[in-house]
Structure 1
Amino acid sequence: MDTLGALALATGPPTDQLMRKHPVGRREPLITNIMWRNVIAQALFQVIVLLTLTFKGNDILKLKHYKTGRADLVRNTVIFNAFVFCQIFNEFNSRKPDQKNIFEGLLSSHLFIGIISITLVLQVLIVEFAGKIASTTPLDWEKWIVCIVIGFISWPLAAIAKFIPVPEKPFLDYCYCSPRKSTSGHGSSSHRKAEVD
């Protein structure tokens, strides 16, 4: 699923806005502050949802009348399915990490739509028909709607997160673990001179 998602995002044609951006230096971080903001927002949401389903899922999904083993299997299938739908919906957010309108140019990206469609079909097949292989069980329509709604929340959450300002300074520079070193001013020249001496 991650491979298909990466392929869907990597094959998108370059936009005019992307081509107008300044080149990124070799020493610039691969993950920008905007990406960190989006990743943290989605990760927090998914962790909260998945932990809630793990510990309270039987009550929330009304599985008390099921046998214990069956209830756990249904709950785990919902957790798996909800997680995958979170990733599918978040792929749309990842197309435009710094823009409010994540659907701009979507219809012209046929490969992206095709890969998302294949992912959805595979997910339905895995949940409904690959129980022995994937340890899943078929879900009724109500639980499918629950999974889709959980995934859908990724869209408004991403829109809200984009109102959170991010600093210019790279995120990793705020912690001591950053491998980046200053290369400007007298400090770097003095450091190089000291190494030569």
Structure 2
Amino acid sequence: MIFVGVVGIQDPLREGVPEAVRVCQNAGVVIRMVTGDNKMTAQAIAGECGILQPNSIVMEGPEFRNLSKYEQEQIIPDSTPEDKRILVKRLKDKGEIVAVTGDGTNDAPALRMADVGFSMGIAGTEVAKEASSIILMDDNFNSIVKALKWGRAVNDAVKRFLQFQLTVNVTAVILTFVSAVANPDESSVLTAVQLLWVNLIMDTLAALALATDPPR
């Protein structure tokens, strides 16, 4: 027998995935990998894309399922696709906001249970697409990062707009009411037309400020 050589097969990561994972982690998003692949394969891929940290836990599905509910909540490990639903439920029970991404039929229960489900538009099955909230047309993890960034930007803009409106309108109402009560003629310091002008100017400037404010 003559040794000829060794052939290794590798499924490379999509371009930009490690960078996208780092952006998510810097934004406070904890990424957990759930796969039906071999434990060693999953561990290698998780290490390549930056999901696997020095303090991370790698665990197979049967071991995870044999834990009690309390132990599952304490660990919340990586597991096989059959455990995705359990994983999502335990995280939601702890008050976490959970987003799930998947492409297979067996991912549908977890996609439906999650707060936000991302399915793959190209490789995803119809069952996964129907169970998800958002369909990624390019099957790219970077799209999830963009959705997260703009979703937070809209959320922040709405909060700032409401804060601005409540502050300004409450001030205007108090000023009008107090000045009307204090005046012997019961006339407000601001007339209805003046209030409308002030409101128009304030709303216009606020809308321009919020519309041009980029995501943090």
TM-score of the pair, normalised by structure 1: 0.28
Greater Rg over alpha carbons, structure: 2
Higher strand share: 2
